[in-house]
Structure 1
Amino acid sequence: DNTMSFMFETRFPQHLTVFAATEAPLQDDYIDCWDGLEKKFDGTPGVK
């Protein structure tokens, strides 16, 4: 509650810190926030 998800793209490699890999708390229901997002990509080349 009262949180915001965000994403970003980069061409640079991303690496976890030791804290992120071993200590950071995880949000177990994170995937549920995407339930209402309609899928629009099917991977077919040349189709928009």
Structure 2
Amino acid sequence: MPDPSFDTPRALGVDDFATCRRQTYSTVLTCGESHRGVDVSPTREAGPWRPG
């Protein structure tokens, strides 16, 4: 099956979450309108966002 197509989000939300309790954290980008996940970064390091 082909990947579903997504429109470019007009608003983004950024949040971090623990993948292992109090040990490993990741960052997630979400669409501000549909509240769906857009991308996940394996770390929560500060700096410019570079989608993977």
TM-score, scaled to structure 2: 0.21
Could you say which structure has the higher helix fraction?
1
For the pair shown, the structure with the greater C-alpha radius of gyration is: 1
Tell me which of the two structures has the higher relative contact order, counting C-alpha pairs closer than 8 angstroms and 6 or more residues apart: 2
